[in-house]
Amino acid sequence: MKRALIVIDVQNEYVDGNLPICHPDLMTSIPNIEVAMDAAADHGAALVIVQHIEDEGAPVFARGSRGAALHESVADRTPDHLVTKADVSAFRGTDLEEWLRAGGYDTVTIAGFMTQHCCAGTARDAHALGFTVEFLSDATGTLDLVNAAGSISADALHISVLVTMDSEFAAVATTEEWTLAVEAGDTLPVSNLWDSTGHARVPGKHSELHKLMRDVRAGIDRDIAAEESHELRNTLYVGQGASTSL
């Protein structure tokens, strides 16, 4: 086994730009990304840094903009390979696959932003290309999405990707779990679709579990809505110069 840590799009746009990551929060994900890079350096895993660049004038990641620049947590690192991309996956339109195969790397570890977008896209492509894939649950992150199809909170979106990844595509682990595996030279376990859907084949349990999960999700959504309502009222009161004690 020969690992390469792929750190994807850790750029200012996701820190203080137009796409602020909120789950896991940056005080969690960025330090864990730094820990992973240190572990890779200490134990002979390659470091690949990926940077997303759009054309000048684009609303995000515009060439030459501060948002497109690598965040300071990775900017001072010296990677074994630097990939510049303009697509979702770090493999598309780049030399990443060629570089990995030339170096004999058979295992790639995904960290960075966003969980469901460039991280998941790169992980899926790596799996399809025959690489063993690892996905760091607390060294990736995303933000809330709202569009014509509906809305989803960052935490729900993040966990949905982690569960999907671990059902077939990647071994999902915390940074600590991954670091220990790197130190020991161990592989990480990955589930599969059959095992991940085992509850569906237990008589009488599928509908019961489905209802329980829906009830739990509804409770979480109510808590999130209440918190957002409280924050909005605070904002309105502060804007009017009134006390924020509600």
Give 205-227 pLDDT, tens digit per residue.
666 666 666 776 676 667 666 66
The predicted structure's pLDDT at residue 198: 80
Helix (H) or strand (E) holding 26: helix 26-42
Give pLDDT, residue 216. 64
What does the pLDDT read at residue 156?
A: 93
In 83-205, alpha helices (H): 96-102, 120-128, 154-164, 175-184, 193-196
Distance CA(57)–CA(112), nearest Å, equals: 24
- Which residue spans within 55-131 are E strands per DSSP? 81-85, 107-113
Q: Other C-beta atoms within 10 Å of 94: how many?
A: 17
DSSP per position, 193-224: HHHHTGGGGSTTTHHHHHHHHHHHHHHHHHHH
**Measured distance CA(83)–CA(71) in Å, rounded:** 15
Please name the residue that has the structure tokens 């309502």: 229
Report which DSSP code applies to 142: B
pLDDT band at 191 (very low <50, low <70, confident <90, very high): confident
Summarised one tens digit per residue, pLDDT across range 44-103 is: 999 999 999 999 999 999 999 999 999 999 999 999 999 999 999 999 999 999 999 999
Query: Counting beta carbons within 10 angstroms of the beta carbon of residue 223, is it exposed (0 to 12), middle (13 to 18) or buried (19 or more)?
Result: exposed
For 101-110, the pLDDT digits (tens) are 999 999 999 9
Mean pLDDT, range 130-148, rounded to an integer:
97
Phi, psi of 56 (to 5 degrees): -55, 140
